[in-house]
Each structure stands twice: as C-alpha cells, then as structure tokens.
Amino acid sequence: MLKERATVSCRRCRLSLLAIVLLGLLAGCAPRPPKSVVQQALAYQLTHLAGPVASLVGSDRLAEHLEVQDVRIQRDRREPLLLTSGETLEGHHLSGTYTLLVKPPGSRRPYRRKGDPFQLTLARQKVKQAESQGPTEQWLLAYASAGGKRWEVVNFLPQPAPPSEVSPEEAETPSSGASAS
C-alpha cells in the first residue's frame, strides 16, 4: 500500500514537472520584440523628453545627433496590459543595456557611452493590413497612466507615406522653390 502511494506521488511529480517545462517552452515561443524595434523605442524615449527638460533649447533636433547601438535585452517579462481605451494588449517589460552614441554638431569625434541600463514596456498589437494579407504586428511604446493601473501607448515607429499621396509625376517634378537657371 505504501509502495503504491509512493508510485502515484512520483508520477504526479513527473507530470507536474513536465507541465512546467512545456509551459516554459511555449512561453519562450511567443514573439519577442526585434532588437531594431527596441533600438527605435529607446531613441524615441531619449528624444521625446517630458516635463521641464522638454523645453530645452534644441531638444527638438536631438534625434539628429543620437544613435542607439548594441541593445542587449536581459529580461523580457510578459503580461497583458489594460489600456486606458479598455483594450488589452500583450505587454513586454524589457530591461537590459545599450550603447549611446552622441554626435555633437561641429565635432568630428562622437561621444560614446556603453552599457547604459534601460527599462521600457512595449505592447504588441495585431493589425489587419489588407484582405489579401494576413494580420501583422505593430509594436507600441507603453507608459503607465497617471493612476498606474492602466497604460497609454505611443506609436513611435516612423510611418511610411501612403503610396496614393505622392504620384510618380510629382516625385519626378522639381520643386517649385528651386529655380532652373
């Protein structure tokens, strides 16, 4: 009788361990934000300053002189994010390090700072493109709202111009500001 209980208990332990391993493997298969997206999110955070710092002279041209390199993601903690709009998105709380390259105007040598730590939260949103294409994903930078229980998101990636806005004739025509002498 005692031997049977030990065997059943051992089987339960094995099944539990197997279930934990499978869940870990499945969680590891979920899409991670690409490093290029994390680089762009960090650059956006650095160039879109908040509060009194945002009013510094020249802060609007800061993006021209900064470059984020060598992003190393050390931790990716996933959890659902409840947005202020009521929508729920998959959230990735990322932490790691990066290298900041600052190219001051008029200087030949850039300033490089290696190993700066970062923490940011990205939200993954599935977007339908066209009927012929399947759903794609969009990464949004997430900030905790004032109450701290919901999240605000910002689309930080550059948006391509729709092809219908610029016709091929307009693209080839010289601008009216340039004079042909």
Show me where the domains of the chain are located: 31-158
102 or 173, greater pLDDT: 102
Q: What is the pLDDT of residue 6?
A: 58
**Average model confidence (pLDDT) for the chain?**
76
pLDDT tier for residue 31 given thresholds of 50, 70 and 90:
confident
135 or 113, greater pLDDT: 113
CB-based burial label for 142 (10 Å; 0-12, 13-18, 19+): buried
Q: What is the pLDDT of residue 80?
A: 95
Rounded Cα–Cα distance for residues 104 and 67 (Å): 11
Q: Which two tokens stand for residue 170?
A: 């307009």
- Could you tell me how far CA 163 lies from the centroid of its own chain? 26
Rounded Cα–Cα distance for residues 141 and 147 (Å): 18
pLDDT tier for residue 179 given thresholds of 50, 70 and 90:
very low
pLDDT, tens only, 71-113: 999 999 999 999 999 999 999 999 999 999 998 888 889 899 9
From the list 67, 75, 73, the residue with the least C-alpha distance to 99 is: 67
Q: Which pTM was predicted?
A: 0.67
Rounded Cα–Cα distance for residues 116 and 71 (Å): 10
